[in-house]
A and B are shown apart, each in its own frame.
Chain A
């Protein structure tokens, strides 16, 4: 059974750095095709893809946010960590981690999601 769970602060101040942890089970991030990604959703708005780390430790970032994001993994702990620097109130959102599977052909998909964690940026 695949599960993912996000953890981190519910409230951060402007200019601070946000650190979120995704703890997962039911799969290994060292298995070919397995990836973990972060996606966020401001209240009442659309989903926004942020970052992805794959089984080979390749890392990919949102073009608009790449200067502020760092994604890393600890395979032994089954954890993926996202840091976002210089937080601003517009970064207030629910942050999700999700498993991304690079399957055969066009089978590239987010098949399992965490429940999400709401992060509010306010002084």
Chain B
């Protein structure tokens, strides 16, 4: 199975900060990489698909980049509603799909 490793596992930031989360795949996955946001007690929501495509309705302060094994999710200016957990997920070839272990963005 393809393993997904996120870093950091948590970070503290302030409103207005630029935040970067990385995700590394254990083997090349081209751009078959998605990012989700999850708030406490809620289901995850899709933010970015195909590594860099913004899901409809998602604010433009979210962006994704990368290809192969290394990927990045960037929040250009952190807003109060962005304090949440973020997960990467690979969908290369056929299942099994795998998620990263998550990154929790907390208030500094």
Contacts and interface: CB of A to CB of B under 8 A. Distances in A.
Interface of A: 37, 39, 46-49, 52, 60-63, 96, 98, 100, 105-111, 113-116
B96 A49 contact: yes
Contacts of A47: 36, 38, 44, 87, 89, 99, 102
Contacts of B34: 108-110
A107 B49 contact: yes
B94 interface: yes
B106 interface: no
Contacts of B99: 39, 46-49
Interface of B: 1, 30-34, 36, 38, 42-46, 49-51, 53, 55, 87, 89, 91, 94-102
Contacts of B53: 107
SS class, residues of chain A in contact with chain B: strand
Contacts of A106: 30-33, 49-51, 91
Residue of A48, A100, A110, A114 ringed by the most chain B CB atoms within 10 A: A110
B49 A46 contact: no
A99 B38 CA distance: 16
A37 B96 CA distance: 11
B33 to A, nearest CB: 8
A73 to B, nearest CB: 15
A115 B43 contact: yes
